A and B are shown apart, each in its own frame.
Chain A
């Protein structure tokens, strides 16, 4: 039958809108305004999942964020979402949900064998059992355990939804829209403060949705609705429902997750699924309310056993009965409201109260309604496999250690209440030192570290009148502090029931010779016996007990279990709770989907992509690109079915024989101006710079203060006080920050300015024997002869009307030039060169050929300058000036740096002249030595030498210069290679450097 647990008329659901949904493949109906949980309960379904460890059947415990059990998998395919909490999922047409952690079905789960074997799975079981043999863990134990445990299944396809990030500032953020939150927001907003009010549920009002109270002669719910309408009409207020403030970070930044899409039937395709709000608030009011605590008794985890407040919420908000034969089990008065609500709906509840008596107005009302109450009684145990069917109750003796007159009572639900736990998570996250409050038997905020104030039941205040007073006062005070205005609102009158105090008793003792499982943490299957065992085994710190038993470590973060666990430990140890302390509350308060945290930074938006002005030409000419930091650079230009290897060989050969053109725009470029520039360069580079003439370039190496090589590049003197520095592509950003640091912090007396001009210039390299011929065609009015523009020379010219800078510098080791023009003219320059270079067999070359050319020549690059080498390791000691001081020079006197056997750069050729040596291979003397085989060095870069037509590598080798001519082995366990090699000079081609000067 359809929804036969739905009560007529009650609730705030829209009965005109029927919604169909599927659960475990079966079709059901609910109403608009239902959650998945309330709709399932309306259909009489309690069994929703299986527990984590023992695979015990589980049902709903709560009605909100505290729910530990009812985690389901939503939808299928790319849209699937694991671990969705059914109490938070709003019902929408076509919703599909399935139970998790069960096979083949939720009512018959094979994994439940773990329950029969539960004696073998105590706390610490995995730690103790799966220790040996050592390598079994990765291959055998872990995969099996992972499959058996675990929650939902992560989607395998990319998330089809989009998520937005929003940055907002406000005077006052109010987290929670219960009575105290509404009061604070209203008072502050009326006093001119910019307010954000956040409510995690779809409905505003918090406890006003379920409590029989009046405020200002209105029903609580109506007052809440009116207040929200009023706040929404104010321009200085942002009101957000479905918005969970889940994290409180430094400097009053809070993060809120707003659910914007899943509850809408036909959302617009551009509607984001969730919005993550980063809110910087001057002041924060935490009005997050409180969560009911369960009572602990034998088999207290059966479907149908839930919090009394949740049962009330299902009746009052959703018009759903969670059962028709309820037992209410409590240690306090608030659960009587649930009993009264059942009675009003024509159901007779049985109240089991552990207290000897209580005389509050709530109890009087229950008695007047002829509700059956058994004082001094407790629930000892329950029966019913897939749904609770009966409870064993008994009369507690005077010291509550045993029972008399046990009896079985049949029931279909048990609504438990162990009093209330203030929700102090945000306050604790903000750095507030919590204190234990004897009155509520829970922790409440005490000393604020940031600008936050907790009000209402989150602050341990359970009277409506007091909460409203506190809310209005704090809202006014804080807004007055910020706005300086004095417009004070008066607190409306209110009416509420009077409640008595609770009994400090949560965990029912076991009858003699019985060892029923009494669960404390439902989601992680932690029972009383596990906590007892942990304490018996010597775990004292609550943080250790938590980790050993996993109490409170599940995705619900122990919202319903932490305090019962603490209470238990303090009882066993005969301590008081404040001595035991509490575990740390960490964000997020509720699970947040990764997509929301990532926001729009996915795919190509993950990070910026830098493209040279010639990028489109490269694309059109079949360039295959490679990431170089953020840059996309052509790796090679593919012709026909060429491989990377074939193409790069062709391109490099053409540079050696004719001329090639390469896009070098990505090189870091820094414009340096000022009268002290030469002096500054003299301090920054290891070689001398004072006498560099105008119109000349020089190669320089920079060190860090610890003597390690930092970067290299050429710097050109454009005019007396104007220099153009180049850096490697990889270090461009760091070099600029380095220069700024020394200019601003260390030597502010130097009159020098630095500015990154990397993106202002488009750069090309022309390399090869025909490059001068080509240059003369590009700049017919300039004398480009070796005499007029020698190696390391610089000229300015006009490239068919475009101002250009011409540097005679070479990375390839060939006769070569680099030309820079303003980036807007980059494509003009490139196409002009391609056009005029045709007759000289000009071909473009990519980074792979560029590498080949520099490796053959023994020029160092990032793979050698790896943050571990000093100048002499790279045979660059000749560039260390003896006449002046420079950054890092003093470190070069360190003992290890003076060791004559240090690593040196060398060349490596395989004996068979065929096998490419994988980069990263180790160089060893004996390839068959027992492990660990002493490592003599490593291969830093490899190429196919186009000059000699055999493989060639660079290596950093211990005592390398003395090993030239020796035979060693290059081992790559990763690629399973063992190659016999000969050590040669790193300058494999043109060792005297004649070509660059030709």
Chain B
């Protein structure tokens, strides 16, 4: 079980969190024209890297804040966690 440092609450066990996918994903702006391909990329396509991955986690059984985690997908090493408005 991973130990994740919530930027608000500190180190907690993984079972307090839920995973939220790629943190680098940007939702296209509302009301803006977008091609089918770009939209499909946003909705469906994710890279699946082996190694460093910036991702979102949600402290559901805690402060209920979403935050960013830089994790090695192969080893589970967590390099850094940050608030949403901070750089990883």
Contacts and interface: CB of A to CB of B under 8 A. Distances in A.
B78 to A, nearest CB: 8
B63 to A, nearest CB: 11
Contacts of A745: 20, 56, 66, 84
A885 B30 CA distance: 6
B85 A741 contact: no
Contacts of B80: none
Given A746-B27, A885-B30, A737 B85 contact: no
Interface stretch (A245-253, A320-328, A474-482, A719-727): A245-253
A643 interface: no
Contacts of B64: 740
A740 B1 contact: no
B79 interface: no
B1 A250 contact: yes
A683 B1 contact: no
B74 to A, nearest CB: 10
A685 B56 CA distance: 24
Given A740-B64, A746-B27, A885-B30, A891 B39 contact: yes
A990 interface: no
Contacts of B3: 251, 253, 280
Contacts of B43: 705-706, 891
A748 B76 contact: no
Contacts of A575: none
Contacts of A891: 39, 43
A744 B85 CA distance: 9
Main secondary structure of the interface of B (DSSP, over half): loop
Contacts of A705: 27, 42-43
B39 A744 contact: no
B32 to A, nearest CB: 8
Interface residues of B, number: 27
A249 B39 contact: no
Given A250-B76, A741-B20, A890 B28 contact: yes
Nearest to B68: A745
B14 to A, nearest CB: 8
B2 interface: yes
Contacts of A706: 43-44
Contacts, number: 52
Contacts of B58: 737, 740-741
Interface string B29-66: 01100101001001110000000000010101000111
A630 B2 CA distance: 27
A629 to B, nearest CB: 15
Nearest to B1: A253
Interface string B1-40: 1110000000001000010100000011011001010010
Contacts of A886: 30
Contacts of A893: 36
Contacts of B27: 705, 746
A64 interface: no
A581 interface: no
A250 B20 CA distance: 20
B42 A748 contact: no
Contacts of B56: 745
B2 A250 contact: yes
Given A250-B76, A705-B43, A737-B58, A744 B28 contact: no
Given A251-B76, A890-B39, A744 B66 contact: yes
B65 A744 contact: yes
B66 A431 contact: no
Contact of A748 (B2, B78, B84): B84
25 contacts: A250-B2, A251-B2, A251-B3, A251-B76, A278-B1, A280-B13, A449-B75, A706-B43, A737-B18, A740-B58, A740-B64, A740-B66, A744-B65, A744-B66, A745-B20, A745-B66, A746-B27, A748-B84, A884-B31, A885-B30, A886-B30, A890-B28, A890-B39, A891-B39, A894-B36
Interface of A: 249-251, 253, 278, 280, 431, 449, 683, 705-706, 737, 740-741, 744-746, 748, 884-886, 890-891, 893-894
Closest 7 A-B residue pairs measured CB to CB?
A: A885-B30, A251-B3, A250-B76, A744-B66, A885-B31, A746-B27, A890-B39
Given A251-B78, A745-B56, A891-B39, 19 more contacts: A249-B1, A251-B76, A253-B1, A253-B3, A278-B1, A280-B3, A449-B75, A705-B27, A705-B43, A737-B18, A737-B60, A741-B20, A741-B58, A745-B66, A745-B84, A748-B84, A748-B85, A884-B31, A885-B30
